[in-house]
């Protein structure tokens, strides 16, 4: 809808060669500013309300999974996972900053090919979240034709997954935050994929918290080498044709970012302010503030995201 209104060039065809279209980002931002802005503003207001305007702030490192030279999974429409990871990670970071937390992006330039140098960049932060998008085992992959080209896909599994490593020195806090994110996403209407735990269909990754879609994956490098609590977040299965479209929807990504923001508020620290944040009825407070903040300007991340993508496109 937004693309048609703004430019005939911004069609789905552009995704087949990667996420290159800055114009589309601007159009989507104009369209989504009202709804997303109100939601983030409400969460910001919630944080201020609970903290009494004191310095409630978490510091979150947001790692962008993969890099340009090895961009991860290729989606059902031929888009590298890295493009999805970068888009979502930037939006999560901006949502955190809008709520007055501190966010540090890792790997945003697409050049972070040394995995061992990622986790140290999170030193001193409260939490490291590595953002990814998922695939399935090769034997479930089929082929289809999209925009005149053959692509691989599987519609068998969908949903989010979360992973923590028992080799991380702060595994309990990692799991606490992973569970909080899974719970927040479930409240927002998302469903855990859970298939990673299956010994036949998945990779036999044991559940750490089945209800909230959290698994143990001890040898994941970025989690194992982190000194701070760390988790890996698979936002959705992009070889699934419908789920890939959902991951492209700015409103869906805004709900994911809001869920992570809500979870971060509840899982980090144990100060009275933070405990109050965990226990209060977030929905009531959000609804009350949403009306009040409805006239706020669009969040700054719209233009920032577009600029970041333009820069990345030039580098690529
Ligand atoms: Zn990945």
Residue-wise pLDDT tens digits, 159-177: 999 999 999 999 999 999 9
Ligand 1 mean position to 66 CA, how many Å? 6
Ligand 1 mean position to 132 CA, how many Å? 4
The pLDDT of residue 265 = 85
Q: What are the backbone dihedrals phi and psi of residue 102, each rounded to the nearest 5 degrees, phi first?
A: -105, 130
The answer to whether 107 and 63 are in contact (CB under 8 A) is yes
Ligand 1 mean position to 236 CA, how many Å? 11
pTM: 0.71
* Segments forming the whole domain that contains residue 22: 2-315
Ligand 1 mean position to 307 CA, how many Å? 24
Ligand 1 mean position to 306 CA, how many Å? 23
Instruction: Tell me, rounded to whole angstroms, the distance of Cα 86 from its chain centroid.
Output: 9
For residue 240 the two structure tokens come to 């699934």
Ligand 1 mean position to 89 CA, how many Å? 13
Integer Cα distance of 13 and 95 in angstroms: 29
Ligand 1 mean position to 76 CA, how many Å? 15
Ligand 1 mean position to 300 CA, how many Å? 27
Domain count, the chain: 1
Which residues, other chains included, contact 281 with Cβ-Cβ below 8 Å and sequence gap of 6+?
Answer: none
Ligand 1 mean position to 251 CA, how many Å? 22
Ligand 1 mean position to 74 CA, how many Å? 10
Q: What is the CATH number of the domain that holds 111?
A: 3.40.630.40
**DSSP code of residue 139:** G
The pLDDT of residue 39 = 53
Q: What are the backbone dihedrals phi and psi of residue 141, each rounded to the nearest 5 degrees, phi first?
A: -85, 135
Ligand 1 mean position to 44 CA, how many Å? 30
Q: How many CB atoms lie within 10 A of CB 143?
A: 9
Ligand 1 mean position to 290 CA, how many Å? 34
The pLDDT of residue 16 = 33
Ligand 1 mean position to 84 CA, how many Å? 10
- CA 164 vs CA 96, 128, 214, 223, 315: distances in Å: 21, 11, 7, 7, 32
For residue 138 the two structure tokens come to 């090769």
Ligand 1 mean position to 70 CA, how many Å? 10
Ligand 1 mean position to 81 CA, how many Å? 7
Integer Cα distance of 282 and 195 in angstroms: 30
Ligand 1 mean position to 17 CA, how many Å? 19
Ligand 1 mean position to 130 CA, how many Å? 9
Q: Which residues of the chain have pLDDT under 50?
A: 1-34, 36-37, 40-55, 270-316
The pLDDT of residue 202 = 81
Query: Containing H/E element for 242?
Result: helix 241-248
Q: Which residues surround ligand 1, an ion (CB under 5 A)?
A: 65, 72, 132
């Amino acid at each position: 809808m937004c693309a048609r209104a703004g430019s005939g060039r911004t069609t789905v065809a552009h995704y087949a060669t990667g996420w290159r279209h800055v114009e589309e980002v601007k159009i989507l931002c104009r369209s989504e500013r009202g709804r997303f802005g109100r939601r983030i503003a409400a969460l910001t207001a919630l944080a201020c309300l609970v903290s009494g305007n004191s310095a409630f702030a978490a510091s979150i490192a947001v790692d962008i999974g993969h890099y340009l030279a090895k961009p991860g999974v290729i989606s059902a429409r031929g888009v590298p996972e890295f493009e999805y990871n970068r888009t979502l990670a930037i939006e999560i970071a901006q949502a955190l900053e809008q709520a007055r937390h501190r966010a540090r992006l890792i790997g945003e330039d697409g050049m972070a090919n040394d995995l061992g140098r990622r986790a140290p960049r999170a030193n001193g932060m409260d939490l490291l979240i590595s953002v990814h998008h998922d695939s399935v085992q090769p034997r479930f992959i089929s082929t289809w034709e999209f925009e005149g080209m053959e692509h691989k896909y599987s519609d068998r599994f969908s949903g989010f997954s979360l992973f923590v490593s028992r080799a991380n020195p702060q595994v309990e806090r990692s799991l606490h935050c992973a569970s909080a994110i899974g719970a927040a996403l479930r409240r927002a209407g998302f469903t855990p994929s859970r298939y990673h735990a299956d010994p036949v269909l998945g990779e036999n990754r044991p559940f750490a918290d089945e209800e909230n879609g959290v698994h143990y994956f001890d040898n994941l490098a970025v989690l194992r080498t982190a000194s701070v609590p760390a988790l890996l977040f698979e936002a959705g299965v992009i070889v699934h044709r419908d789920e890939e479209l959902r991951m492209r929807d700015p409103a869906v990504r805004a709900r994911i970012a809001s869920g992570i923001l809500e979870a971060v508020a509840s899982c980090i620290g144990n100060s009275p302010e933070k405990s109050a944040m965990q226990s209060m009825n977030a929905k009531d407070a959000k609804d009350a503030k949403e009306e009040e903040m409805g006239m706020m300007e669009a969040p700054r991340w719209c233009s920032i995201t577009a600029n970041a993508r333009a820069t990345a496109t030039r580098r690529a």
